[in-house]
Structure 1
Amino acid sequence: MTDADDPTIDDEIVARARIHAREVISEHDLEIDRNALEWTVTTRARRRAGACRWNRADEVATIVLTRQAYERYDWETFAGVVRHELVHAWEYQQFGESGHGERFHDLAATLDAPRYCETFAEPRYALRCLGADCDWSAGRHRASKPVKAPGGYRCGRCGSDIEVEHVDSGRTWTTASGFGGAKAALGKRW
């Protein structure tokens, strides 16, 4: 066997997920067409452990699992992600749409699947209220509009200004120019 033939961690993730899915589908008599179910792994996701995409034209559901989540979670937690995405696949195949509503909640409870999956990565940015008596904060994984230009946003709880912190460096800013300055000053460390 050559190195090219050696299984990768992505192969392991898909194999374990498929086996678990087959067991869940069989145990609960789920009406999921496994021939219309595809699996893939991503390394790009920063906060979601899984996703289910629906190709309406082909009527194929693709479950996308995140490698970093697989590496950080124990198997039981990751198996919950697989079950969560199976509920989406079932909804897509049965109804052509999916969400986190009552129908999702009912089947998720039956499968012991979490309604929402916990984040597996620390946020890159922290937003904080500058109000003296307010402790509101939020994390962001990407440079969203409030991260890039916090001066245009206010705390949703008390209406005060907010600041943003680049978590790895501790550098903070409250304006769009502050964001640009922090990014330039950090260079490759950004």
Structure 2
Amino acid sequence: MGHDDHELADRFDSITTHDALIRWSRAYCSDAIETYGFDVALFPVEWEVSTRAKRRAAAVKTPQIDGASVGEPIAWETKSEPVDCVGDYPACTVSLSWRAFESFDRDEWEATLRHELVHIEQFQAYGTTDHGPAFKRRANSVDAPVRVRRFTTPKYVLLCDDCGDTVAHRYRDCKLVRNPDSYRSACCSAPLSSSKVPNEEN
């Protein structure tokens, strides 16, 4: 049974716990499967909330299936290696970032969940998932981003000394940040420079 849009909106605004975030996200995904025509079974999907993730708003954790390839359907009941299945579907876990939830509005959170549903759809069909051409086409068809935006500001930015283009971001101090001139940019083969991103949370 679907959930009234106003009900979901009210519940989203009142989420204060991890359990509530999981319940809301699962309810939205159930509605999105029907609305957007996802070929996804939610019953084998487990849910968790991460308070440590700083880069990914959400992630689908899946087992590694040897020989699996997007576009090549997999018959789970005939797999020889042990795969934890619930009925005819493999188990996987959706990990939601609490920090992302706090940073995103409802529309962006819903789009993030549709992005993850594409991953689940691919995994259940093929035994693997990626961000390749098939993912991009499917994400576009369900109005989901191919890449979910960063929700925390990186602490450091690495720039090409010749053209000034941004080469990379880093969230913590590392060799690249400390010794940028030891590396070369792909754009100009020039040394890099690093600088700290102004951010009161850094």
How high is the TM-score relative to the length of structure 2?
Answer: 0.72
State the 1:150 CA deviation: 2.0
Alignment of 1:1-190 (within 5 A): 8-55=16-63, 57-58=83-84, 59-131=90-162, 134-137=163-166, 138-168=168-198
Does the 8 Å CA contact 2:38/2:117 hold for their aligned counterparts? Answer: no
Task: State the secondary structure of the residue aligned to 1:119.
Answer: coil
How high is the TM-score relative to the length of structure 1?
Answer: 0.76
Please identify runs of 4+ aligned residues in structure 1 that moved more than 3 A.
142-145
Instruction: Structure 2: state its 5+ residue gaps.
Output: 1-14, 65-82, 85-89
Task: State the secondary structure of the residue aligned to 1:142.
Answer: coil
Residues 144, 86 of structure 1: alpha-carbon distance in 2 compared, 3 angstrom cutoff = farther
User: What letter matches 1:121 in structure 2?
Assistant: T
Task: State the secondary structure of the residue aligned to 1:55.
Answer: coil
Deviations 1:6-29 (A, max 9, x none): x85212221111011000112234
Deviations 1:45-93 (A, max 9, x none): 2121111111352121211111111101111001111110111011111
Counterpart CA distance in 1 for 2:175 and 2:125 is 37
Structure with higher helix content:
1
State the 1:168 CA deviation: 4.9
Does the 8 Å CA contact 1:136/1:155 hold for their aligned counterparts? Answer: no
User: Pairwise CA RMSD of aligned residues?
Assistant: 2.2
Residues 145, 61 of structure 1: alpha-carbon distance in 2 compared, 3 angstrom cutoff = farther
Counterpart CA distance in 2 for 1:156 and 1:148 is 19
Task: State the secondary structure of the residue aligned to 1:35.
Answer: coil
Residues 89, 143 of structure 1: alpha-carbon distance in 2 compared, 3 angstrom cutoff = farther
Aligned residue pairs, count: 163
Identity over the aligned pairs, expressed in percent?
31
